[in-house]
Structure 1
Amino acid sequence: MGVSTSSPEKGPEKGIALVTVDFPPVNALPVSGWFALADALRAAGRDPGTRCVVLAAEGRGFNAGVDIKEIQAQGPSALVGANRGCFEAFAAVYECEVPVVAAVQGFCLGGGVGLVGNADVIVASEDAVFGLPELDRGALGAATHLARLVPQHLLRALYYTSRTVTAAELHGHGSVWRVVPPGELRAAALELAGEIAAKDGELLRLAKAAINGIDPVDVRRSYRFEQGFTYEASVGGVADRVRDTFGRDGD
């Protein structure tokens, strides 16, 4: 259980670092998990032998966001920790020195959208669904990253309703590169990563920095702004009220 990394020398393909998340049963990450993921992504990107990173997950879903039960049990300290951990993990994807390919299966919710929204490319299985159930969980955030996947008015509808979209729908919007059967996901992600990793490593790093540099949205500042409203909801009491309902529903 946790976050593991295969080195580009010993990984599935030369030049590819595979970062895998495994937090059963649903990959809802505790505070420590978000920081561990950030560290793993940054370390993989710094390795001079890495030309592409594949971010993947074990289990039936890619990511279910933060561990709500940890926040309920520990209160404000866990909320602050989750905010900081998510901020660091999302930033680590975006700022990774080489391209990041996200391999997404099953559910990709909340913090999962934050991760894949900051990835360079998304490959998804046919059963993948993406969404922000934040309003149902007493939180806000990651609209910054959903906005990188869908048009503005669809973003708002999904955010306000907590509905999800399928991998096929995102493929139609151009934000998912390829949709494959679940059993072919890892191979498809590695195939694309291999095509990327075949390029000159130094030039790839320059390309990543250049593309980030022309991005019209400062994702770090935008997401940090959102987090202020999550904290406001918490100190104002509305977050606890919604989370208590979430807990009674047996989630």
Structure 2
Amino acid sequence: MGISTARPEPGIAVVTVDYPPVNALPAQGWYDLAEAVRAAGADPSVNCVVLAAAGRGFNAGVDIKELQRTPGHRALLDVNQGCAAAFSAVYDCQVPVVAAVQGFCLGGGVGLAGNADAVVAADDAVFGLPELDRGALGAATHLARLVPQHLMRILFYTSGTVTAQELHRHGSVWRVVPRDRLAATALEAAGEIAAKDGTLLRLAKAALNGIDPVDVRRSYRFEQGFTYEATLAGAGDRHRDAFVSRRTGKERP
């Protein structure tokens, strides 16, 4: 359990998240993920990073149970800072990052996939931000990189989801494949990238980040300020407590 890094092929590093049962990460998990992605991108022998996950889903966001069993606001501060670190590590990775998404990609999962350079998804993948149902705000910044503006808004307001096939039609998911082909397809996609000159890839990544119309780091941190406000207003804990009560003894996100 935790974060691991493998080198299955020359030029490719695979960073895998494994937090059973649903890959809902505790605060330290987000920091560990950030460190692993940064380290992989800083390795001069790596030209592409694949961000993958074990289990039935890619990511269910933060570990809300950790938030609610920790007195005060320390856990909320830690997890928000950890998420910001992980999302930034993906975005700022020195080489391109391919996200390999299966099953559910919710909350923080959208932050990771939305900041990746390319997304390959299994045909059972769904993407969404249940933030309002969890007493939080955030990652609309990253959902807006996957869907058009008005669709992002209605998905955020309703806590709705979109399928990998829908995102493929929008052009934000590169390939959609059966789940048993996801790992191989992600490696194939990464291989196409990793075959390029490493120096030029790093320059290209920096150049493409430099022309982005939205500063994703500042935009996300702005959103997070409203999560703190919701908590101070009492709405955050009220919804998170209700979520934990509903999920006690259940595994599905």
Q: Confirm or deny a common fold (TM above 0.5).
A: yes
Q: For residue 8 of structure 2, give the secondary structure of its aligned residue in structure 1.
A: coil
- Partner Cα distance (1:197, 1:23) in 2: 28
Q: Distance in 2 between matches of 1:248 and 1:92?
A: 33
Code of the residue aligned with 2:142 in structure 1: it is: H
Q: Which residue of 2 aligns with 1:121?
A: 118
Give 4+ residue runs of structure 1 displaced > 4 Å after superposition.
Answer: none
2:176 matched to which residue of 1? Answer: 179
Structure 1 CA distance for aligned equivalents of residues 67 and 247 of structure 2 = 16
Counterpart check, 1:188 vs 2:219: no
Identity across aligned pairs (percent)? 74
Is residue 2:58 matched to residue 1:56? no
Mapped partners of 1:41, 1:248: distance in 2 = 34
Q: How does 1:117-156 map to 2 (within 5 A)?
A: 117-156=114-153
Match of 1:232 in 2: 229
- The two structures, once aligned, show a CA RMSD in angstroms of 0.7
Structure 2 letter corresponding to 1:234: T
TM-score relative to the length of structure 1: 0.97
Equivalent residue for 1:168, pick from 156, 161, 165: 165
Within 5 Å, which residues of 2 pair with 1:34-49? 34-49=30-45
Q: Distance in 2 between matches of 1:130 and 1:182?
A: 15
Give the C-alpha shift of residue 43 in structure 1.
0.3
Other structure's SS at 2:142 match: helix
- What is the alpha-carbon distance in structure 2 between the residues aligned to residue 249 and residue 36 of structure 1? 29
Offset, 1:248: 2.3
Query: CA–CA distance in 2 between the matches of 1:157 and 1:47?
Result: 40
Q: Which residue of 2 aligns with 1:107?
A: 104
Q: Which residue of 1 aligns with 2:22?
A: 26
1:205 aligns with 2:202: yes
Deviation track 1:73-92 (CA, whole Å, cap 9, x = no partner) reads 01411100000000000000
Give unpaired runs (5+ residues) of structure 2: 249-253
1:3-22 counterparts in 2 under 5 A?
3-6=3-6, 11-22=7-18
Count of residues in Structure 1 that have an aligned counterpart in Structure 2: 247
Q: Deviations over 1:80-107 (max 9, x none)?
A: 0000000000000000000000000000
Length-normalised TM-score, structure 2: 0.97
1: CA distance between counterparts of 2:80 and 2:228?
A: 9
Instruction: Report the Cα distance in structure 2 between the residues aligned to 1:247 and 1:55, rounded to whole angstroms.
Output: 28
Consecutive unaligned residues in structure 1, runs of 5 or more: none
Q: What amino acid maps onto 2:223 in structure 1?
A: E
